[in-house]
Structure 1
Amino acid sequence: MNGLLLDPHSALAEEITLGALLRCCIRELCGPRVRTAGPYLLASIAGTRVRVPARGGMSLRFTGRAERLAGGVWEPLTSDTLIKLVERQLAGGGEGPGGGFNGEFAAQVTASREAVAALLAARERATPPADPWLASEQALVGGHPFHPSPKMGIGPGSERYAPEAHARFPLRLLGVRADLVAGQGDTSVLDSMGAFPPGYLPLPAHPWQLELLAPDLREPLADGRLVDLGYGSRPVFPTSSVRTVYEPVAGVCLKFSLDVRITNCVRKNAWYELAGAVELTRRLGPVFDRLAERFPGTRWLPEPGYRSAALGTRLLEGLGVIVRSGPWPVCEPGVTPILAAALAASPYGTADVRDTGVPEAAEARRRTDPVTWWRAYVERVALPALDAFVRHGVVLEPHLQNVLVGVDADGLPAQAIFRDLEGAKLIEGRHDLSGLPERVAEALTYASDRGWNRVAYCLVVNHLAEIAATVAEAADPEEERQVPRELWAAAGKVLSGHAEDRGWPAPLRALLSDATLPAKANLGVRWRRHADRAAGYVPVANPLSSMRPDL
């Protein structure tokens, strides 16, 4: 593929795809063999020397075109060439994930690249939502910056349901015969979403999922266990996860099953996850009350109920919908919720995709007063996430798509809103789960070490490092090297002060003293075709370790 001959959308999709795959390679395949030479990072992949101009730090922000050395001459590196190099190294038994040849890998990366191009084209024709929070949810065209195929599930035609294309659409409404309704908790908000016949209860459904389930639905629709009530009259807006939509009239989010593999997972609500969401909502209410007392500005989005149809496991899971609170009611007056991943999107790089919803005051404040803005950010996001683990034995999984940041009128982070209970877990041994079905209890728990890896990765490597990199990119070029050091020094002071208040518990001591942190190995899990829960970790340099206190 010659990027010089591509249309603008395909050229940008190629740049995004190449950058994400190359970041995965540098992190997971090259490790300590990566070195710097002037503005370049130098690496070797399958015996081929590769270089790319980049800023320092674990976020690997590239500042120019990647190249490979061929016949003694540096020439542009393309994603197709890089795919072949990855295949050669991993299938050939070189260092890295290994696991034999993966015949799906190239097609997955290519499909993701084509999806990004289609999303860019669709986005150009669409109107972004007026709601800044929704705009931020729909801003992630490039997807995960350390994933080889972040958009592979968004194929041709599915742009009509894609948040990045500013989609909006009505839900389909099913009626479930009353004796076959399955669910727990409070789902009364669903009853206002359309008229339904006597003897039935309404079950909103994602239209894409109904297309995928069509063969399984024929019989229950034919014999009256389900009735098709057609499309609803109110539009919904897909959020960043694709399958979760916002219903603005009711002011709630609805998390549907979607039998599509997006990044590493088929996005289906397993039966034990449906029950687990309601159970966690009950258990985490008191925890968040205490966190909010200790850290003003801490909020969360409960998931008070789910509804489905008791028509066998396939349809119970496939039609299951989880009700989640919307973000606006938990925001203080004058505070605007913004998806953290949109705050991490670079407005300064060559792969510039705007309409992020980020308020101008926030952009201006973090550009003119980066350390103050960053310190407020760390205080709002990191402290409650760490205290939830250390004090309460709760893993909140605070990655960039699971946290909303409330920005006040002055552009400063004022609130942190945690969401998505699928990734939230309870540390085993610290909670009484007796009485729960065994599979539900198992899905709700992590061993302590696994939980800490997840917190350290999601909070620092996935989240804070990307925010810090975006803040630093706005700095004057003459201060480019100094600003990241100032940011991490400020973070170290905030976190060490918290650790001291808590008596230096072991996890916080490790966070501020260990030389490395765990980074999730998305390339490895895709190559091996494993489920996301089986993903391993690779070590990356800890930017907080140089600020460790004298312990």
Structure 2
Amino acid sequence: MPFPSSAAEEAVAAELAAVRPALVPAYAASLGGARAAVLTRLWRALAFEPLPWIAGRKGAPDGLTLLLAGGGRLEGPPPDPYATRPYVEELLLDGTAHHRAGQLVRALGIPHGEDFAAELDASTASLALSRAGQPSDGQDPVPQSTREWEQRVVDGHPYHPNCRSRPGFSVAEELAYAPEHRPVVELGLVPVRAEECLVTGNWPERLREDGRILVPVHPWQAAHVLGRERVRSGFAAHPLMALRTLAPADGGAHVKTALSARLTSSVRDISVYSIETAAAVSGFAQGLAERLDGRLHITRTLGAATAHSPDLAAVLREPPELYADAAAGERVLPVAALACYPPARSAAWRARFARLALSVCLRVLELGVALEAHGQNLLVVLSPTGAPLRLVYRDLADIRISPARLRAHGLPVPPLSGRLVTDDVAVLRRKLFGSLLTGALGATAGSAGAFAEVLAEAAGLPATSDTEALLTGLLPTKALTFMRLSPDVPGDQWAELPNPLSGG
């Protein structure tokens, strides 16, 4: 017997019936799987994050019981911190079964829970919509381009319960702008007097006119934030996995646009600080990559501009495809798309990829840079036979740079200050481990057992304090649910996951 729909699920169904009625049956068929996917992500958070209203956790071979501060009990299956398949279809709160994440959070009655529950309902409905838009089995051609592989990433963040939360987007806008629906998006241009702009790098002549900078603008931003009257016609582009980053239809630099909407956890605008530091960080990162014997390429930031506002800014950067030899049959896949890539399902392929990713990213960390190497930023170049050859990294806006480590290796320290710069070892390791280990590699493995095999590849790497921490300590991950339920707590918050190698 089907379970009652949430108001968000019903609202999406009603709007879909009006704007794309042919998708209604597929959407309805996708709801059950979407509910389980979001509930599974929520159970991971409840099992491992430092939530103050959980007084204790009692594990047993057949499940986990959470002891709530108010005296209640929440029961579920044994949690796998690295599972990406949906395996939780219901959780029992004081004996009452809950099958929807939003419904459960409301029943818990926790601080800030109502807003979070609404986001979970919206995430579930949006995830079902994303899945509904996919071709039927046997009708989905093998992707030929990096963009097509990016559009294969349907389920969003592999661990965040808000994996498909897009507040402020109507169904029509999701269909028109979201990469998994494969639309063509018409970017606009906002002319801003050059003296009123901050520009770094080489802003192209095609985006200048009569002493003005033409700032590319996402159509959602034009409609909801800037006002359409300020925006002139621009150019067609394909949305990439990040949704607000697009590949122009006629080729050329990828365009990262400001989008003042909260997707998963963060508002996706572009800070003035990011524009100020873009050229310096890009130049520094290129020099660092040259020390990796061709195993790592970093897409250059070509130009960045802002009207001194996070709501009106854009970054132009190289396409990652530039770092693959197409004539030789090489191709580039974002790591998040590896779940859709059949060779990546074999243990031997995952081991080879893990050796590459761990050796490169740990070496970069040793030199003094912690990459935010999650499945969206990190890409892999594949041989014609599908073997992982080297890495490509994009989007330098949130790396961390250690002047002390750079100096220890005789490397120049870039002229930077602010949040990108730190010598705090815990911060550096959290940045890399929380993105590469408990993010990209964990999601690629898909389970704690498979992840243990992946991590074991680090044992053969040169011994460093970072490698030792990886092999023996608890592994950090962003406490994404705790952060959404703690709006008054600034900055990233962290949880620690068991290390399948150390048994911790």
TM range, smaller chain: 0.7 to 0.9
Q: Which moved more, 1:45-54 or 1:16-25?
A: 45-54
Q: Is the 8 A contact 1:273 1:443 kept in 2?
A: no
Alignment match, 1:113: 124
Distance in 1 (CA, whole Å) between partners of 2:300 and 2:67 is 45
Alignment match, 2:452: 488
Alignment match, 2:21: none
How far the C-alpha of 1:340 sits from its partner, in A, is 0.8
Q: Is the 8 A contact 1:141 1:164 kept in 2?
A: yes
Alignment match, 2:217: 205
SS at match of 2:429: helix
Alignment match, 1:13: 34
Aligned pair in 2 of structure 1 residues 544, 183: CA closer, same or farther (>3 Å)? same
Q: Is the 8 A contact 1:17 1:148 kept in 2?
A: yes
Q: 1:378 aligns with which of 354, 358, 368?
A: 354
Distance in 1 (CA, whole Å) between partners of 2:129 and 2:258 is 24
Q: 1:452 aligns with which of 422, 429, 432?
A: 429
Q: 1:424 aligns with which of 399, 416, 419?
A: 399
Aligned pair in 2 of structure 1 residues 299, 172: CA closer, same or farther (>3 Å)? same
Q: Is the 8 A contact 1:335 1:414 kept in 2?
A: no
Aligned letter for 2:479? A
Distance in 2 (CA, whole Å) between partners of 1:542 and 1:52 is 19
Aligned letter for 2:120? V
Alignment match, 1:506: 465
Structure 1 unaligned residues grouped into runs of 5+: 92-99, 222-227, 346-355, 473-480
How far the C-alpha of 1:2 sits from its partner, in A, is 4.7
Structure 2 unaligned residues grouped into runs of 5+: 10-27
Within a 5 Å distance, the mapping from 1:232-247 to structure 2 comes to: 232=235, 235-247=236-248
Q: Is the 8 A contact 1:405 1:417 kept in 2?
A: yes
Distance in 1 (CA, whole Å) between partners of 2:88 and 2:464 is 42
Q: Is the 8 A contact 1:395 1:455 kept in 2?
A: yes
Aligned letter for 1:161? Y
Alignment match, 1:273: 274
Equivalenced residue count is 465
Q: Is 2:415 aligned against 1:443? A: no
Alignment match, 1:182: 198
Distance in 1 (CA, whole Å) between partners of 2:30 and 2:454 is 39
Aligned pair in 2 of structure 1 residues 53, 426: CA closer, same or farther (>3 Å)? closer
Q: State the TM-score, normalized to the length of structure 2.
A: 0.82
Alignment match, 2:263: 262
Alignment match, 1:352: none
Alignment match, 2:501: 544
Q: Is the 8 A contact 1:128 1:135 kept in 2?
A: no
Q: Is the 8 A contact 1:23 1:60 kept in 2?
A: no
Alignment match, 1:3: 3
Q: What whole-Å deviation, never above 9, does each CA across 1:488-525 have from its counterpart, x for those lacking one?
A: 35642x323322xxxx32222221222x1112111100
Q: 2:75 aligns with which of 45, 50, 61?
A: 50
Aligned letter for 2:419? A
SS at match of 2:446: helix
Alignment match, 2:337: 342
Aligned pair in 2 of structure 1 residues 469, 319: CA closer, same or farther (>3 Å)? same
How far the C-alpha of 1:140 sits from its partner, in A, is 3.0
Distance in 1 (CA, whole Å) between partners of 2:55 and 2:135 is 38
Distance in 2 (CA, whole Å) between partners of 1:306 and 1:255 is 9
How far the C-alpha of 1:264 sits from its partner, in A, is 1.6
Alignment match, 1:351: none
Distance in 2 (CA, whole Å) between partners of 1:129 and 1:179 is 47
How far the C-alpha of 1:371 sits from its partner, in A, is 3.4
Within a 5 Å distance, the mapping from 1:214-363 to structure 2 comes to: 214=226, 221=230, 228-232=231-235, 235-291=236-292, 293=293, 296-309=294-307, 313-314=308-309, 317-332=310-325, 333-343=328-338, 345=339, 356=340, 358=341, 363=342
Distance in 2 (CA, whole Å) between partners of 1:249 and 1:181 is 26
SS at match of 1:539: strand
Distance in 2 (CA, whole Å) between partners of 1:129 and 1:231 is 31
Distance in 1 (CA, whole Å) between partners of 2:37 and 2:85 is 11
Q: Percent identity?
A: 23
How far the C-alpha of 1:428 sits from its partner, in A, is 4.5
SS at match of 1:3: coil
Q: 2:444 aligns with which of 447, 460, 467?
A: 467
How large is the Cα RMSD of the aligned pairs? 3.2
Q: Is the 8 A contact 1:511 1:544 kept in 2?
A: no
SS at match of 1:288: helix
Aligned pair in 2 of structure 1 residues 127, 204: CA closer, same or farther (>3 Å)? farther
Aligned pair in 2 of structure 1 residues 180, 117: CA closer, same or farther (>3 Å)? same
Aligned pair in 2 of structure 1 residues 171, 35: CA closer, same or farther (>3 Å)? same
SS at match of 1:203: strand
Q: What whole-Å deviation, never above 9, does each CA across 1:273-304 have from its counterpart, x for those lacking one?
A: 1122221101111100001x1xx432221213
How far the C-alpha of 1:53 sits from its partner, in A, is 7.1
Q: Is the 8 A contact 1:148 1:523 kept in 2?
A: yes
Distance in 2 (CA, whole Å) between partners of 1:517 and 1:342 is 23
